[in-house]
Every structure is written in C-alpha cells, then in structure tokens.
Amino acid sequence: MNDTARSGLTGLIESAGVVAILRADSDRGLLRACQAMAEGGLRVAEVPLTTPGALAVVSQIAQEMADRVLIGTGSVPDADSVRRSADAGARFIVSPTFKPEVLEASHALGLPCLPGALTPTEILTAWEAGADIVKVFPAHRLGGAAYLREVLAPLPHVKLMPTGGVRLDSIGDWFAAGAVALGVGTSLIRTDLVEAQDWDALTEHTRAFVSAVDAARA
C-alpha cells in the first residue's frame, strides 16, 4: 500500500468527521454495537488495545463490515502492536502519545497514523514527523475548543482531531475551532445501551451524533 492509498484512508477519516472509540471493559457486544452504530451512519471506528480481546473484535469488524466501517486500533504502544493490528485488519493506527516507532511502522505498512499530543510543541513535532492527523488528547483539559482555536492560529496547516471530553452539544464548537475530525468515546458508544443490548437506541443516538457533525460542517 503506497502513500496515495494511505492518503485516501486519511481522507475517509476526515470525510466521516467522527471516529467512534470502542473502549470497554469487555469485548462482549462490541461487534453488535458497531453494527448498530453503522445503522446510525457511523463510518469510522477504533478499538483501543486496552479493551479485552481488541484484536479479535477488529478482525470481526474487518471481515464482516469492511464495506461499511473503516476500522482501526487505538492505544497502540509500539511497532509490534502496529504489525499485529494490521494483521487483524486495522486500516489506521491511533496512539495516546507520539512515539516515532509507531509512526514509522504504520507508514511502512501503508496505514495512516494518528498520534496523540497536547502542547503546541508536541503537536508540531508529531506533524513534522509525518503524522497524518494529530490527535489532541486530552482535548478538553486546557480550555476545549478555545484551546484548539488558539493552537491552530499559528499552525493552520496542521490537521487536528480532538479526543477526550467531546460531547454531542460541543460538536459545533470543535469544528468551528478548526478540527478535521473528532474522536469520541463513551459519549457516543454509551455503555448503558450496550449493557442493555438496546441496539435501536444506540442506532438513534449515533444518528444524532452523525447529524450534528454534518450540520456543523455544512
């Protein structure tokens, strides 16, 4: 897979506008949850490697939903984890921090890499090293959307995906501040609905998120 293909995958993430973070204490119900969320318009999701059975879930989603959901792995700590993620079917890699070996291993396999950073120096370092999108994490701790806007004022060329504390009612603020996509965890994949196996409610909740993203970028 070449740089053009990697750029195309990055474009899919930007086009979707929201990456669902399927983080859970158990892998039980995650495939079914992803299916329900896809019914609501979800197009991109990541399974953090901190979730039990993460790679098995990635493999299931990659095999059964490849035409509907672009699946990646998150919380990726090292190059070996990148390779194992790719073997399972991951199409992009997300990490909480910037680690050169993770970026290099991802690009060697033709996969977009979205490393985490917080300060302007960290963000620019990750971007100049070749990050496809920089995950701003934890995004809400230093002023939320206002912080993102201030970072982008001198760095308008950097693609940022705020993650952490993103809620339905703040989607418009993040995109107005310059985000290219949003990483969203428990406020999107609601654990109460997954535990109750209320898939219809999860579908409708996802539809509300996707509609809010579309409206914010219209």
**Whether the predicted pLDDT of 1 surpasses 70:** no
Q: Which range marks the domain in which residue 78 is found?
A: 3-217
pTM of the model as a whole: 0.97
Query: Do residues 59 and 89 make contact, with C-beta atoms less than 8 angstroms apart?
Result: yes
For the stretch 68-94, pLDDT in tens is 999 999 999 999 999 999 999 999 999
User: Is residue 33 scored above 90 in pLDDT?
Assistant: yes
Total structural domains within the chain? 1
CATH of the domain at 22: 3.20.20.70
What are 21's strand-pairing partners?
Answer: 46
DSSP string, 59-91: HHHHHHHTTT-EEEEES--SHHHHHHHHHHT-S
AA identity, residue 77: P
Residue with tokens 């983080």: 23
* C-alpha dihedral, 84 to 4 to 42 to 212, nearest 10°: 130
Q: How is residue 129 written in tokens?
A: 């090293």
C-alpha span between 123 and 32 (Å, rounded):
35
Per-residue pLDDT, 141: 85
